[in-house]
Structures are given as C-alpha cells and as structure tokens.
Structure 1
C-alpha cells in the first residue's frame, strides 16, 4: 500500500497535537527531530484520505509517496531501557537481552518516546513471572510483547483503532509470542482479572479508564498509567485517589509523567 507522506514543522506542543489527532481518530503519524533539533510532524495519508482538519492551514515542508517499508529503515536497533532492545531491522540475535522485533511504521509507540520507555521500565520492575497483563491502548503492541517476554502467563492487548490492532498483530507474529490482540474501546471488550494494567494514552482517556478498571483488577493489582503531560498529572492522581488507588511511585522524562498505583 502506498501513502502520501507530508512533513510539517511542529507548531504546537506534543500533548495538544496528540489530543487533536485522537479527537479526529487519526493515527497515521510520527513525531521526529531533525539534525538541527527541530521537531517535525510526519503525516501519512492513504489514497483519497484527507488531512485532519486542524492541519488544513499548515504548510508542509516536504511531500512524497512512500510505503511502510520506507518507514522501517529510519530506525536502527536501540535500547528502550536497560536490558530491553527494540529491533526494527529484525537482525539482532543476542540472547542476553530481551529483543522486541518491531515494524515502527506510524503508530504511536515505537519505543523511542519517553512514555513508552517509562512504561517498559515499570513493567520490568513490577511484573512477576506468571502475571496476567492487559495493555490498554496498545498501539504497536510493544508493551504487550515486552510483558510476555518478561514472563507474563497471559497478555491481552487492546486498542480502539483498527489499524493499531493490525500493526500490533503483525508485531506479535514477528516476535512469535502468545499475545491476544483485539479491538476494544478501553475495557469495553475486556473480561477477566489482571495483575497488571498498563496504559500509555492521554490523561483525559485515563480518566475514563479509571471508571472501569476496578472491574478487571484485584486488591494487589498494579496500575501503570503513562502518556500524562505534567500539567495534567494532578487531574489523573485525584481521579485515581477517589477511585481508591494510591500512588506507589512516579517517573518523569521531559514534560511526560508515568504513575504507578495500587489499591488503597
């Protein structure tokens, strides 16, 4: 499949951009930094697809036809956190680290973003062999794959976006892991009880998640909430507190915050 790639200078902060793209249900994008340190937004349009409305007044710096294979060569293998390597090239063979084969494409969550890195950091810290894990808003499926490779007995990955579900399924297959991937608006299609719930989405969506997460957790479950911009951290923490979740720890990279919580 061929896409039109449009490159824009990033004129608004990343959190605002993600909110606008989420509101329009648009997931074919990437945020990158060029050699001069300027942040760029890359948008990928299928044939006949139009730009998200808020981008209509933005002037692209570049425009070209591209395919998913072109996107894969833009990243070399890199360490997400110590001991966990993302491999877009599918050439890493080392056995002393957890290696996640990955087609980065355009779905949010390649492992380069600090929200993904912090989520992986806490999965490594809190996941015990045999745990049941659900990745809510899975994107590329990287967190679900890491959870399985860390020793989870059962892993479910869900996303409301159909393309994200397809990308996650492809990555699960690449890694030859037993992870169930399906479409679900947050927890609407999720049943069972989980030891760890990890979610790397926007702060406002975490508020919705907190309304239903008790249904699929127990008194010792761990809740990892990432993708929270620091100006909205208190909003999420207050909602969680009202729902009976206590803060175990937090981690911050740039303006992004990840919270780890447990039932009070």
Structure 2
C-alpha cells in the first residue's frame, strides 16, 4: 500500500502578482488545500484521493496570455514531508504580536510564540485565512471562554486561543494526519486545556462561547446549522476559507440561523467574517 497522501505542484509564475493570487484562488476551488508562496511562484498541495489527471483543466489563468506559468508535480510521501516543509516553511509574525515558527527557527520577540511542525497539515499561518483568524483571536476576548477550533489543521488557532486565556478548547479535524499533528503541536507548546478530536461536524458534542471554523465554503454551508446549535447565546462565530464573492451566500446562511454580522477581514481576495449569536 502506498504511503502517498498528497500531491505537490510547483508553479513558476510571471508576473508574480497578481498571478499568484489569481492562481491560488482558482486552485482552491479545484480542491487544493495548502499553499506556500515562493520567490518564483507558489507550491500547492492536494490530497491524492481528491486528485485526478484533469484537475487543472478549469484553471483559466493557465491559458491566459497575460501570464507565463509553468509547473511540475510529484507525489509527497509521508516520510519525506519533513524535508519538504523545512525547505519551504519560513517563520511568520502577525501584527507584531504572534510568531508561528518551527523549532529550528530563532525565537522572536513577540508576545505569543507558537512552535509547530506542520508536516502536511493546513494552517501554518502563511495562508490568508489562517492569518486573518489569528488576527480575530488577537482582537477579541478569549479569557475563560470555551472554544471550538473546527478544521484545526496544525492546531495553531487552538494553541493561540489557550495563550489568550481560553479555559477549554476542542480542536477537531477529520484528517488523521492533521489530528495526529495537532496532538504533537499541542504537546510541543505545553498546552493544558486543548482536547484534540478526530472527526467531522458530527463529532461536536459540547456548546461553546467561541467557534472558529476555517474550512471551505461548501462545508461551511453544509454544517452551519450544527455550528449554531453548539454556539452559546451571546457567543461568537468566526468563519474563513472562502472568497469575497462568497460573502452574500455565507451571510444569508448565517442570518437564516439568527446570527448577526459583526466584522469582515480581507487579505487579497480571501475573507474572514465575525458573527454574533
């Protein structure tokens, strides 16, 4: 049995911007779930079970005369992923307050320092959606709150929630690799109030003051009723994983469940929304 989990595509893009931004947006709709921008373009990853030989057929920018884009791709096996992400993963700092880095990076002078080994999990902080969720957590009160991090990836948002004072956090992801990686990162950051759970929205059993959901648009729409059912009155729902043009659809679904729109963050064409219950 093959231990290939993901397929990695290495794109070279000229001109870089807005080429990389457009390419990432189109790849996201095609099923790619993790991106690392490089000096020459972007590296994108898709789960092998979601891959097909025609996966790039609808990526319109590849046929545009305005951009020159070339690419190669290869299987990414679990055993060689550490070398792959070490090659591409640079530390990031969000709003001069939060650093997300690997163990081999030098410790920066930030208020919150998160150490992760992302392996193939989504959520290093490099992607716009994770970056905006970090900003939401920084701006809001998490002291003594109960929190759900749905689609936790590396666990970085759950870890920051604990650093911000949350008293109890459930971190859920359906992907076994993400589940195991989150456990490792929770332990690596000496967290004591995070429970990591493997599963989808059906695994949600508790009610929460704050729910963080960084998942693609279709899953958000499908599971919105479940999220709201588990959100305490007066609670806060943070959503990301979609684009600016998806806002009307997302907002209509939230309003159907009596959630009130509060705030929007945007990076490039990605957005993150805050709703109140």
Q: Is the 8 A contact 2:148 2:211 kept in 1?
A: yes
1:39 corresponding residue in structure 2: 42
Partners of 1:20 and 1:62 lie apart in 2 by 16
Matched, 1:52 2:54: no
2:27 corresponding residue in structure 1: 17
Shift of 1:20: 3.6
Partners of 1:63 and 1:157 lie apart in 2 by 31
1:69 corresponding residue in structure 2: 82
Measured against aligned partners, the alpha-carbon deviations of 1:162-195 in whole angstroms (never above 9, x if no partner) come to 1111111111111111211111212x11122211
Matches within 5 A, 1:130-141: 130-141=144-155
Matched, 1:78 2:92: yes
Matches within 5 A, 1:151-230: 151-178=165-192, 179-186=194-201, 188-230=202-244
3-state SS of 2:31 partner: helix
Measured against aligned partners, the alpha-carbon deviations of 1:145-173 in whole angstroms (never above 9, x if no partner) come to 11011110001100111111111111111
Partners of 2:259 and 2:46 lie apart in 1 by 37
Structure 2: give runs of 5+ residues left out of the alignment.
13-19, 58-69
Structure 1: give runs of 5+ residues left out of the alignment.
none
3-state SS of 2:152 partner: coil
Q: Is the 8 A contact 1:73 1:89 kept in 2?
A: no
Shift of 1:17: 2.7
TM-score, L = length of structure 1:
0.83
Matched, 1:114 2:114: no
2:62 corresponding residue in structure 1: none
3-state SS of 2:88 partner: coil
TM-score, L = length of structure 2:
0.79
Aligned length: 251
